[in-house]
């Protein structure tokens, strides 16, 4: 997609366009940008971005894409960052009714992937270009024309971006996405901004005093430090053989706020520090072992960042220069108008805290990380160490008044919790959540498989019968054979002559057969005779093998209690099996179910063809309880 080329795989691109033609007004595009940033200051101010922050800038017109406000964020391993950005973009489109928002990642229109179960059949990656937008806070999908009257205002092919923006401005109600599609997307973002706190984890860390002081002023610097440790290489660790910046003898206990993703990355990695580093750990039985281990890992991350940086540049107290940015004053004015400071008096402690947060957020959101030294985390850390006034003794005194840390039991997920998470994601009951009577039905298994096999596939793949009970596909062999022979003008032995109406408008089979014979081609009668001879020859060849013994036959037992026969089929004696081969026809349904169960059992709980096909059709088999 345009704007995503050259980006890392986990990147999301977002754009804000004016709906329809640009309208003259006294408001400049820069003022609009400042208003948008002020709107998002509260949810974004203390947000810890995993990799790159949300950012907006002016993008000039290029080709058919008009000038707009947009940005690109690489969210790395934390997909919650991507959905938080979806929430931000949706909120902007709601608060600014004249703006149309689009958002894509390397998978394309990933919002449609979330609602794939409810999409119309015509909507696919090829037909979704310039069709999916947020407008007035709601998801819109520009449809295809369904009748001649709609062709006058709906393009048959993919619309251009200007066409799409004009359509939304003039026919927004007709472009509103279906309710289930909107609900599927809203389900992922409705918990924001409250989910921000739910995604955080506070833990005790025994770290050098300098790190504790830096994180108090710049909690966002935690993410690059964790990433530096998590992605370390042998060259990085050379800087940690002997610590030059964060000596271990200055360590204090502090409470650090992580995102759950960052905490898991730091906690789950086993690491033994170099003996020369001076970092030692207590016994694992020590109640503060985890805090010592986390602090040691954080210290390595911070040391690696500083080792890669030159001496710090002149910046403000927050570590970022905002006064030199010509748009800072306008942004600050927009913050005041949006009540960002909540009535706090200018100069008060809370006001200064909010102002420092706003400075960090402004620089992150306006200037792209790769284009500014302000986003070099190592330089920011070095500068803060030189400018901050902190005392290791004072920090030690605070240890006794630290709030309790969060429980990290969420790192371990029980099978029941996993089932609950999957239920919430799919909206369907799982096998373990229903009673044994509701779990499966052998008749449903056979009918679903028959329906699947009877479906006609295309170059796009097979169409799965999601609900076999709602629309069962029946196949009558006799009717099929009779119809085939009627087409070939050859009646079968058991075909009723009344089935063919003399007035039916069929082609003249006799003349057609004569023409084929004149051309030297075999007649239809000869073709059927050859087919019968071929089948007889096949039967003779198979008669000398034991393949017939591998099938279960129709018996009185299978007619009365098929489920019981499935269980006991494997225990059937060879003598009885041989007798069935000779006296009874093959029970097709019974063999189908038996083979499916054997295939499912051989998967040993893993994904496989049997479970994948049946679950796609809404049939779920029980776990094998024999082991």
**Separation CA 110–CA 103 (nearest Å):** 8
Give residue 484's pLDDT: 59
**Separation CA 560–CA 552 (nearest Å):** 15
Those residues with Cβ within 8 angstroms of residue 341's Cβ, 6 or more apart along the chain or in another chain: 335, 351, 354, 355
Residues facing 458 on adjacent strands: 461
Tell me the two tokens of residue 261.
């993703």
pLDDT digits (tens, 9 = 90+) for 47-78: 999 999 999 999 999 988 999 999 999 999 99
Those residues with Cβ within 8 angstroms of residue 444's Cβ, 6 or more apart along the chain or in another chain: 468, 469, 619
Distances (CA, A) of 247 to 243, 266, 300, 302: 6, 20, 11, 11
Q: Are 588 and 562 in contact (CB under 8 A)?
A: no
Give residue 422's pLDDT: 79
Those residues with Cβ within 8 angstroms of residue 410's Cβ, 6 or more apart along the chain or in another chain: 201, 260
Tell me the two tokens of residue 260.
């759950």
Q: Count CA atoms within 13 Å of residue 534 on its CB side.
A: 6
**Separation CA 168–CA 174 (nearest Å):** 9
Give residue 443's pLDDT: 66
Tell me the two tokens of residue 584.
């009874």
Q: Are 160 and 63 in contact (CB under 8 A)?
A: no
Closest alpha carbon to 320 in 394, 380, 265: 380
**Separation CA 305–CA 577 (nearest Å):** 74
Q: Are 31 and 330 in contact (CB under 8 A)?
A: yes
Those residues with Cβ within 8 angstroms of residue 185's Cβ, 6 or more apart along the chain or in another chain: 86, 111, 114, 115, 139
| DSSP SS3 for 587 | coil
Q: Residue 111: which H helix or E strand, with range?
A: helix 110-114
Q: Residue 528: which H helix or E strand, with range?
A: helix 524-543
Q: What is the pTM of this model?
A: 0.70
Match 């610097």 to its residue by tokens: 221
Q: Are 84 and 192 in contact (CB under 8 A)?
A: yes
Q: Are 203 and 284 in contact (CB under 8 A)?
A: no
Q: Are 596 and 445 in contact (CB under 8 A)?
A: yes
Which own/partner contact pairs does 608-613 have at CB distance under 8 Å and 24+ positions apart?
Answer: 613/449, 613/452
Neighbours of 241 (CB within 10 A): 11
Q: Residue 260: which H helix or E strand, with range?
A: helix 260-267
| DSSP SS3 for 136 | coil
Residues in the chain with pLDDT values less than 50: 1-7, 316-320, 369-374, 431, 467-473, 490-513, 516, 558, 560, 563-581, 627
Tell me the two tokens of residue 486.
């009627």
Q: Are 52 and 369 in contact (CB under 8 A)?
A: yes
Q: Residue 59: which H helix or E strand, with range?
A: strand 57-59
Query: C-alpha angle with apex 175: 171 to 179, nearest 5 degrees?
Result: 140
Neighbours of 408 (CB within 10 A): 14
**Separation CA 291–CA 271 (nearest Å):** 14
| DSSP SS3 for 257 | strand
Q: Are 206 and 253 in contact (CB under 8 A)?
A: yes
Backbone angles phi, psi at 142, to 5 degrees: -70, 120
Neighbours of 209 (CB within 10 A): 21
Tell me the two tokens of residue 324.
């030199």
Q: Return the CA Rg of the chain.
A: 35
The pairing of beta strand 99-105 with beta strand 200-208: unpaired
Give residue 16's pLDDT: 96
**Separation CA 355–CA 316 (nearest Å):** 12
Closest alpha carbon to 441 in 570, 624, 568, 621: 621
The angle that helices 349-366 and 29-39 make with each other, rounded to 10 degrees, is 130
Secondary structure, 3-state, 231-254: CCCHHHHHCCCCCCCCCHHHEEEE
Give residue 568's pLDDT: 46
């Amino acid at each position: 997609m345009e704007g995503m080329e050259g980006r890392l795989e986990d990147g999301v691109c977002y754009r804000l366009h004016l709906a329809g033609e640009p309208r003259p007004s006294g408001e400049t595009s820069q003022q609009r940008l400042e208003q948008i940033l002020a709107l998002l200051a509260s949810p974004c101010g203390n947000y810890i971005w995993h990799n790159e922050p949300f950012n907006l800038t002016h993008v000039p017109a290029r080709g058919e894409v008009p000038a707009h406000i947009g940005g690109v964020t690489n969210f790395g391993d934390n997909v919650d960052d991507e959905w938080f950005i979806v929430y931000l973009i949706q909120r902007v489109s709601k608060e600014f009714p004249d703006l149309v928002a689009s958002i894509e990642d390397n998978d394309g229109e990933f919002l449609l992937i979330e609602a794939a179960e409810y999409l119309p059949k015509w909507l696919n990656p090829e037909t979704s270009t310039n069709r999916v937008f947020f407008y007035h806070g709601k998801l819109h999908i520009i449809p295809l024309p369904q009748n001649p009257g709609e062709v006058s205002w709906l393009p048959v092919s993919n619309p251009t971006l200007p066409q799409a923006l004009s359509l939304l401005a003039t026919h927004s109600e007709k472009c509103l996405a279906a309710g289930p599609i909107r609900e599927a997307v809203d389900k992922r973002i409705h918990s924001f901004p409250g989910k921000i706190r739910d995604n955080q984890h506070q833990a005790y860390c025994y770290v050098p005093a300098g790190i504790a002081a830096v994180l108090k002023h710049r909690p966002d610097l935690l993410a690059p430090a964790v990433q530096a440790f998590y992605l370390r290489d042998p060259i990085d660790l050379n800087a940690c053989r002997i610590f030059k910046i964060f000596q271990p003898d200055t360590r204090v206990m502090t409470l650090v706020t992580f995102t759950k993703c960052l905490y898991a990355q730091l906690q789950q990695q086993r690491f033994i520090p170099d003996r020369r580093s001076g970092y030692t750990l207590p016994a694992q039985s020590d109640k503060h072992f985890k805090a010592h281990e986390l602090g040691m890992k954080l210290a390595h991350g911070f040391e690696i960042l500083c080792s890669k940086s030159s001496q710090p540049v002149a910046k403000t107290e927050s570590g970022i220069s905002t006064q030199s940015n010509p748009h800072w004053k306008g942004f600050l004015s927009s913050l005041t108008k949006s009540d960002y400071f909540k009535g706090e008096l200018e100069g008060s402690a809370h006001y200064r805290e909010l102002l420092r947060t706003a400075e960090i957020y402004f620089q992150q959101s306006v200037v792209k990380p790769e284009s500014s030294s302000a986003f070099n985390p190592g330089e920011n850390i070095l500068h803060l160490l030189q400018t901050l006034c902190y005392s290791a003794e004072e920090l030690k005194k605070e240890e006794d008044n630290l709030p309790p840390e969060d429980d990290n039991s969420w790192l371990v997920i029980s099978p029941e919790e996993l089932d609950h998470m999957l239920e919430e994601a799919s909206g369907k009951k799982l096998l373990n959540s229903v009673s044994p009577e509701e779990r499966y039905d052998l008749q449903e298994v056979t009918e679903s498989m028959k329906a699947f096999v009877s479906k006609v596939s295309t170059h796009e793949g097979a169409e799965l019968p999601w609900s076999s009970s709602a629309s069962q596909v029946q196949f009558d062999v006799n009717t099929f054979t009779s119809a085939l022979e009627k087409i070939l003008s050859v009646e079968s032995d058991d075909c009723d002559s009344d089935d063919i109406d003399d007035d039916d408008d069929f082609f003249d089979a006799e003349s057609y057969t004569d023409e084929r014979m004149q051309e030297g081609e075999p007649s239809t009668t000869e073709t059927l005779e050859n087919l019968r001879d071929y089948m007889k020859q096949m039967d003779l060849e198979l008669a000398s093998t034991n393949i017939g013994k591998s099938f279960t036959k129709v018996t009185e037992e299978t007619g009365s209690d098929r489920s019981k026969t499935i269980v006991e089929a494997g225990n059937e004696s060879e003598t009885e099996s041989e007798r069935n081969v000779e006296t009874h026809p093959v029970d097709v349904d019974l063999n189908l179910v038996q083979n499916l169960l054997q295939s499912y059992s051989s998967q040993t709980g893993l994904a496989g063809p049997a479970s994948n096909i049946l679950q796609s059709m809404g049939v779920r088999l029980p776990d094998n309880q024999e082991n």
